[in-house]
Amino acid sequence: MREDDLRRLEEEIDKLRTKIVDADDFKVYSEILDRTTLMALYKLSKRGSIEALGGVLSSGKEANVLHALGSEGEVAVKVYRIYTSDFRNMYEYIEGDPRFMKVRKDRRSVVMAWARKEFRNLKIAEKAGVRVPHPIDIESNVLVMEFIGEDETPAPRLKDIENDMSKEDMKRICFKIIEYVKRLYEKGDLVHGDVSEYNILVHRNEIFLIDIGQAVLTRHPRAMEFLRRDLENISRYFRRFGIKVDANDLFSEVTS
């Protein structure tokens, strides 16, 4: 892309950035708006999937999630970092997936595949009856999905509100998560691979699984290893609240 074209593109993106609230948000924007991301945001804006970008909802090594407005109202925009992602770790969940057999083992290819993978996994999970953010659109390394929360305030992670929950609340959440893991496995042929209190949102008395990019098909060579790890995480976490769940029993229940 020529420099003149890039400047015009940046001007268009500037028009989208209407609600950047503080210096930390500016820092994140400056880090993630490389040429590929600028072009992706521009195309998404042309399609109406994004109409205005807002503040940063979360920051991580692999991606940043931004609040935005689209034709469907509030949305979340997940921007996968191309140049700072741990693409070798990401490739561990892509290698062996028959949907991505031709992905090259370089940073850019892996990150792009990861974005497509999360978009497709969200669709599978939703079809299986698992509450996840509804996938809306994708372009290159940018995923647009349903915003879980309201009035620009994201729904809390389970980890952040665990001390406010009663034992009955935690028990209900525990068995809902187990139900989701089972639905993913039985109806979606999918294993989440990273179920934890950090990847569970609680909103209006409903439970949502997030960060599903690493989820693998059940025929992936390491699927059972990842499933056991998920169930061990669930049992270990909820035992802290006096809820008796056994990972081996859960594994038998899910796979039977």
Catalytic entry in 25, 97, 137, 211: 211
- CA 216 to chain centroid, in Å, comes to 14
Distance CA(125)–CA(156), nearest Å, equals 21
Q: Which one of 25, 97, 137, 194 is the catalytic residue?
A: 194
Q: For residues 101 and 85, what is the distance between their CA atoms, to the nearest angstrom? A: 20
Picking from 40, 3, 31, the residue whose alpha carbon sits closest to that of residue 144 is 40
Question: For the CA atoms of 120, 122, 128, 130, what is the dihedral angle to 10 degrees?
Answer: 170
Q: What are phi and psi of 4, to 5 degrees?
A: -65, -40
Annotation says 211 is catalytic: yes
Asked whether this chain's domains 3-152 and 155-255 adopt the same fold, the reply is no
pLDDT in tens, 96-126: 787 887 788 888 888 889 999 999 999 999 9
Q: Where are the domains of the chain?
A: 3-152, 155-255
Half-sphere exposure of 50 (CA within 13 A, CB side): 32
Residue 3: per-residue pLDDT: 59
DSSP per-residue string spanning 47-89? TTS-SEEEEEEEE-SSEEEEEEEETTEEEEEEEE-TTTS-HHH
> What is the pTM assigned to this prediction?
0.88
Q: Which residues face 19 on adjacent strands? A: none
Average pLDDT over residues 219-227: 94
CATH class of 3-152: alpha beta
What is the mean pLDDT of the segment spanning 157-170?
96
The CA-atom distances, in angstroms, between 153 and each of 39, 57, 58, 224, 228 are 27, 8, 11, 36, 33
Domain 155-255 maps to which CATH number in 3.40.120.10, 3.10.580.10, 3.90.600.10, 1.10.510.10? 1.10.510.10
pLDDT digit string, tens, across residues 15-54: 655 544 555 666 676 677 788 888 898 899 889 899 888 8
pLDDT of residue 127: 98
pLDDT at 95: 81
* Local confidence band at 140 (pLDDT 50, 70, 90 cut-offs): very high
∠ Cα 81 151 44 (to 5°): 40
